[in-house]
Amino acid sequence: MAQEPFRAGFAFNASDFADNPDPRAPCVLILDTSGSMDGRAIRELNEGLIGYQQDVAADQMASRRVDLAVVRFGGDVEVAQDFISPSQYEPRPLVADGETPMAAAVLRAMQILEERKREYRAAGIAYYRPWIFLFTDGAPTDCEESWKLACEAVRRGEAEGKFTLFAFGVTGADFGKLRELTSSRQPLQLKRSGFREFFVWLSASQRRVSEAAVGSSVKLLPSTGDAGWGEVPT
């Protein structure tokens, strides 16, 4: 019998929502931990997660409103961290191993996000449009049918305003496949040693969003250019 994937930490329950009725800014990180990430890439990813947690947890507003989950994919797909506040998040070291079931990871992230939004609605908690961030250094090893299913699910979800998905690659990533997944925006390539810079940008962006009214437009910091951490791949 298949076992329920391990969920690290703990999620908010009804009493958590009662103690903190602030609107939530849900965010899911989908992280490639396949074998090709072994070495420098997985070390920098782990270091980036630690710095990100410290940055967001240190901000009074963001620590109350950001709601984070982590899905990793390498060999299999695992919810490495169910939704939790940054102050409670304790990043577990990620280990690189196995193939790259990217489509399955994207679909799993969408599933837990929908489950989380149902919890918000049941508790009467407002929420900002969720963000999903995908990181990879390779290409999906799922079957083509599964990949097409994931791409269609993303297009439909974004068209319906359910979330916004951003895709990022490092050296070795298949940007052609990422463009299929994020047809409404360009995937970005992280510059060398860009993990830390990305997570600094993410925490700063989440601080801006958490200070805004739900449904309002927020101008984010630039992510590309001479001072940015990313670039548009050719």
Write the pLDDT tens digit of every residue in 84-136. 999 999 999 999 999 999 999 999 999 999 999 999 999 999 999 999 999 99
Domain ranges of the chain: 14-231
Element holding 44 (H helix, E strand):
helix 40-57
Mean pLDDT over 220-231 rounds to 59
pLDDT band at 192 (very low <50, low <70, confident <90, very high): low
For residue 181, which of 68, 98, 104 has the smallest C-alpha distance? 104
- pTM greater than 0.85: yes
C-alpha to C-alpha distance for 11 and 207, rounded to whole angstroms: 21
Backbone angles phi, psi at 188, to 5 degrees: -115, 150
Question: Which tokens go with 50?
Answer: 């630690």
pLDDT band at 178 (very low <50, low <70, confident <90, very high): very high
Which pairing describes strands 76-84 and 188-190: parallel, antiparallel, or unpaired?
A: unpaired
Task: Evaluate if residue 6 carries a pLDDT over 50.
Answer: no
For residue 31, which of 114, 132, 115 has the smallest C-alpha distance? 132
pLDDT band at 37 (very low <50, low <70, confident <90, very high): very high
Say if CB 31 and CB 71 are below 8 A apart. yes
Task: Evaluate if residue 149 carries a pLDDT over 80.
Answer: yes
The full length of the chain comes to 234
Q: 230 - beta bridge partners?
A: 190, 224
C-alpha to C-alpha distance for 105 and 109, rounded to whole angstroms: 6
Least confident among 8-22, 30-44, 56-70, 175-189: 8-22
Say if CB 179 and CB 154 are below 8 A apart. no
Question: Which tokens go with 61?
Answer: 């507003």
Mean pLDDT over 192-213 rounds to 84
pLDDT of residue 91: 95
| DSSP string across 135-195 | EESS---S-HHHHHHHHHHHHHHHHTTS-EEEEEE-TT--HHHHHHHTTTS--EEEPTT-H
pLDDT of residue 103: 98
pLDDT of residue 227: 53
Mean pLDDT over 215-234 rounds to 61
Mean pLDDT over 156-162 rounds to 95
Burial string for 137-171 (b: 16+ CB within 10 Å, else e) reads bbbbbbeeebbebbbebbbebbeeebbebbbbbbe
Q: Is 61 helix (H, G, I), strand (E, B) or coil?
A: helix
Class of domain 14-231: alpha beta
Task: Evaluate if residue 221 carries a pLDDT over 70.
Answer: no
pLDDT of residue 112: 97
Residue type, 142: D
The whole-angstrom distance between residue 159's C-alpha and the CA centroid of its chain comes to: 19
